């Protein structure tokens, strides 16, 4: 979604904001804007387009705010770009989120004589702040901001400046905003990556918190009650190399190739952390996992692992559907899987679970993100910053953590433990399953190596995309059992960055309708672990109707027009080794089509609106 950065210190703010905003461009990239204070005046520049295409931003002053937009209300344009200003040009504001009651507020404000310039929901907020802002009567900017926020409905992270005061006011409700504390200076950002080159000391704001930063100090209050908040400073350890492409053409390609290394880190997440969540799962009567997009596909894969390995019926629900579907009580555990820890739908589902007295856990990549702060237990992924909008390394890390959890529970089951469906019963692992588990554990340790091996197929994958994926515009991705979510994720990656149509589905489902689409303009990608006979009969059904098929194969099957071979592993581990192959298939197709790989059209890395 939109990215926000603010800076108050002794340096010229516009160059710091410019560099910081470029690091947030993965959040939104349809327009950008800056506002600074100098000589008791606001200085503003904004435009449609990408901040990365701009060479320099030069505005005077050492206090400023900036924004990169992912439009919700009003198309990308210079007028709709943030910052927005009041009628007197005294205050400026940037916003991430949606003001739900903006239409009624806009009408009321217009009646009171306010002039609106843009089509955005955001603009009502600045005019509302203007209504309350009476510096001549001693009403300070923060007073006006909190009065305005108490009158709006919706979600927001905002930063506001006034030409008349040396401060930045920031506040949040259901959209992220973090404070960075530097040497004699302060930063505000949508996430820590925006200011990490300058400081790793941060305080993430929680809902209904407002921060006022001034030259020598900062103050955090609850804007509903006006009470002062005492918040701890967190130090973030983060590798700076992550924000450079290091010789790769795109961040996505770099992140795909980082997977062997990142998965070694995931293998080393300490056993106690995995055990602690496994224990919590065991103690719960019901377990839900909620997530969306790629994280949902990781969760869906784990549903098979929990059921096959640990005999645990875990329910996975798309977080945007969670409130409609979940049946919750105080003995229910809800696990949110979210790389950013800031996805609106997932946080909403988690908060709904909290209201229903459930225990909350999460698997999250970004330290100190909202999901980590509302959870009782969190496993941090340790995947490092992922900049490409299309998730790759964070997905395989989620898979690795979830598989480790399922294995832990499977082993515990064998030793002593009861499961939610078999309360009070104890089940012992049969020798078969026990053998299988040690084989899987062995393979799991080798996953980084398997992925390295799969990545050696890159030239072959590139040539397949050139031959098959450029002119054809429709693709079916099919997989069976544990690789049904693989098919969904393969199709999602392909859609996101190639803009071609792709649908994932269970291989067995195809013959119940979709097979009518098989034609010269509908090719199939099939995931085949260890020569799975059942899926191969579905493959034959497609072939006999003249359909072209690319097989991604962890075995020796040769039934395809083209085959991409990945290491032969057990079905259980196969979703991990298939990932680099379909990620590269999407990547090279998108490159050949000249797509914007790291910032595909219409998408944002972190979706912080409903
Ligand atoms: C995946 O490539 C997308 N970027 C998107 O589907 C993403 O996985 C989804 O928005 C969930 O994000 P999260 O993991 O940060 O919650």
Q: What is the pLDDT of residues 427-439, one digit of tens each?
A: 445 555 666 888 9
Q: How far is the CA of 364 from the centre of ligand 1 (A)?
A: 12
Whether the CB of 293 sits within 6 Å of ligand 1: yes
pLDDT score recorded for residue 434 = 61
Mean pLDDT of 412-426: 46
Rounded to whole angstroms, how far apart are CA atoms 10 and 24? 23
pLDDT score recorded for residue 241 = 60
Whether the CB of 599 sits within 6 Å of ligand 1: no
Q: How far is the CA of 376 from the centre of ligand 1 (A)?
A: 22
- Burial grade of 226 (CB within 10 A; 0-12, 13-18, 19 or more): exposed
The predicted-structure confidence for 495-530, as pLDDT tens digits, reads as follows 999 999 999 999 999 999 999 999 988 999 999 998
Note whether 583 and 465 are within 8 A (CB). no
pLDDT score recorded for residue 28 = 79
pLDDT score recorded for residue 508 = 93
Phi, psi of 194 (to 5 degrees): -65, -40
Residue 605 known to be catalytic:
yes
Pairing mode, strands 474-479 and 377-380:
unpaired
Rounded to whole angstroms, how far apart are CA atoms 283 and 419? 8
Whole-model pTM? Answer: 0.87
Rounded to whole angstroms, how far apart are CA atoms 358 and 336? 12
pLDDT score recorded for residue 239 = 63
Note whether 312 and 420 are within 8 A (CB). yes
The predicted-structure confidence for 224-280, as pLDDT tens digits, reads as follows 999 999 999 999 876 656 667 889 999 999 999 999 999 999 999 999 999 999 999
* Radius of gyration, alpha carbons of the chain: 26
Letter string b/e over residues 256-266, b meaning 16 or more CB atoms within 10 A of that residue's CB: bbbbbebbebb
- Name the residue of 193, 294, 364, 603 whose CB sits within 8 Å of the most ligand 1 atoms, as the mutation to test its pocket: 294
For the cut 50, the answer to whether the pLDDT of residue 423 exceeds it is no
pLDDT score recorded for residue 416 = 40
pLDDT score recorded for residue 412 = 79
Mean pLDDT of 446-455: 97
Q: How far is the CA of 263 from the centre of ligand 1 (A)?
A: 19
pLDDT score recorded for residue 428 = 46
Phi, psi of 204 (to 5 degrees): -75, 135
Banded model confidence at residue 561, pLDDT cuts 50, 70, 90: very high
Which of 35-49, 120-134, 298-312, 425-439 comes out lowest in average pLDDT? Answer: 425-439
Mean pLDDT of 28-50: 95
Looking at per-residue confidence, does 435 or 375 come out higher? 375
Only one residue has tokens 């506040």, namely 171
Determine which residue's CA is closest to atom 2 belonging to ligand 1: 390
Rounded to whole angstroms, how far apart are CA atoms 554 and 378? 33
The predicted-structure confidence for 136-183, as pLDDT tens digits, reads as follows 999 999 999 999 999 999 999 999 999 999 999 999 999 999 999 999
Mean pLDDT of 362-377: 94
For the cut 90, the answer to whether the pLDDT of residue 309 exceeds it is yes
Note whether 477 and 504 are within 8 A (CB). yes
Q: How far is the CA of 362 from the centre of ligand 1 (A)?
A: 15
- Name the residue of 26, 251, 295 whose CB sits within 8 Å of the most ligand 1 atoms, as the mutation to test its pocket: 295
Residue 2 known to be catalytic:
yes
- Name the residue of 607, 608, 609, 610 whose CB sits within 8 Å of the most ligand 1 atoms, as the mutation to test its pocket: 607
pLDDT score recorded for residue 555 = 85
Q: Which candidate, 12, 18, 11, places its Cα nearest to that of 45?
A: 18
- Burial grade of 267 (CB within 10 A; 0-12, 13-18, 19 or more): middle
């Amino acid at each position: 979604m939109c990215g926000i950065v603010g800076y108050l210190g002794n340096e010229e703010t516009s160059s710091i904001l410019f560099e910081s905003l470029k690091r947030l461009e993965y959040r939104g990239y349809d327009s950008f804007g800056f506002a600074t204070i100098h000589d008791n005046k606001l200085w503003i520049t904004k435009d449609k387009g990408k901040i990365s295409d701009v060479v320099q931003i030069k505005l005077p002053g050492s206090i400023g705010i900036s924004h990169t937009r992912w439009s919700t209300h009003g198309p990308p344009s210079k007028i709709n770009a943030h910052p927005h200003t009041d009628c007197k040009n005294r205050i400026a504001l940037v916003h991430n989120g949606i003001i739900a009651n903006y239409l009624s507020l806009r009408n009321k404000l217009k009646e009171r004589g306010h002039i609106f310039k843009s089509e955005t929901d955001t603009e009502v907020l600045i005019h509302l702040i203007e209504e309350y802002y009476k510096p001549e009567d001693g009403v300070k900017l923060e007073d006006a901001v909190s009065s305005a926020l108490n009158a709006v409905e919706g979600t927001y992270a905002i930063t506001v400046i006034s030409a008349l005061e040396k401060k930045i006011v920031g506040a949040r409700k259901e959209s992220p905003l973090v404070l960075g504390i530097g040497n004699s200076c302060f930063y505000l950002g949508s996430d820590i990556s925006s200011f990490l080159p300058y400081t790793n000391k941060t305080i993430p704001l929680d809902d209904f918190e407002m921060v006022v930063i001034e030259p020598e100090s900062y103050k955090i209050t609850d804007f509903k009650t006006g009470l002062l908040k005492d918040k701890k400073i967190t130090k973030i350890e983060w590798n700076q190399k992550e924000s450079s492409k290091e010789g790769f053409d795109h961040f996505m390609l770099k992140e795909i190739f980082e997977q062997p290394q990142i998965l070694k880190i995931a293998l080393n997440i300490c056993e106690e952390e995995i055990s602690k969540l496994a224990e919590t799962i065991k103690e719960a009567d019901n377990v839900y996992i909620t997530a969306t997009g790629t994280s949902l596909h990781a969760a869906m894969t784990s549903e098979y692992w929990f059921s096959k390995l640990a005999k645990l019926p875990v329910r996975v629900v798309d977080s945007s559907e969670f409130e409609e579907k979940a049946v919750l009580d105080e003995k229910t555990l809800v696990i949110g899987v979210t790389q950013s820890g800031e996805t609106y739908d997932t946080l909403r589902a988690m908060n709904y679970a909290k209201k229903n007295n459930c225990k909350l856990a999460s698997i999250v990549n970004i330290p100190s993100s909202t999901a980590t702060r509302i959870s009782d237990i969190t496993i941090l992924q340790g995947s490092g910053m992922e900049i490409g909008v299309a998730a790759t390394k964070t997905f395989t890390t989620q898979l690795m953590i979830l598989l480790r959890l399922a294995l832990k529970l499977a082993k515990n089951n064998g030793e002593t433990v009861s499961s939610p469906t078999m309360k009070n019963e104890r089940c012992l692992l049969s020798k078969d399953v026990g053998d299988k588990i040690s084989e899987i554990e062995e393979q799991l340790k080798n996953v980084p190596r398997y992925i390295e091996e799969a990545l050696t197929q890159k030239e072959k994958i590139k040539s397949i995309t050139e031959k098959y994926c450029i002119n054809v515009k429709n693709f079916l991705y099919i997989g069976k059992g544990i690789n049904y979510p693989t098919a969904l994720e393969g199709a999602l990656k392909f859609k996101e960055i190639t803009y071609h149509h792709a649908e994932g589905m269970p291989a067995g489902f195809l013959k119940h309708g979709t097979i009518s689409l098989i034609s010269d303009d509908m090719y199939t990608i099939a995931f085949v672990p260890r020569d799975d006979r059942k899926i191969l009969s579905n493959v034959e059904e497609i072939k006999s109707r003249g359909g072209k098929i690319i097989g991604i194969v962890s075995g020796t099957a040769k039934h395809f027009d083209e085959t991409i071979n990945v290491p032969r592993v057990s079905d259980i581990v196969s979703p991990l080794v298939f990932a680099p192959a379909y990620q590269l298939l999407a990547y090279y197709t998108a490159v050949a089509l000249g797509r914007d790989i790291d910032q595909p059209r219409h998408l944002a890395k972190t979706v912080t609106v409903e």
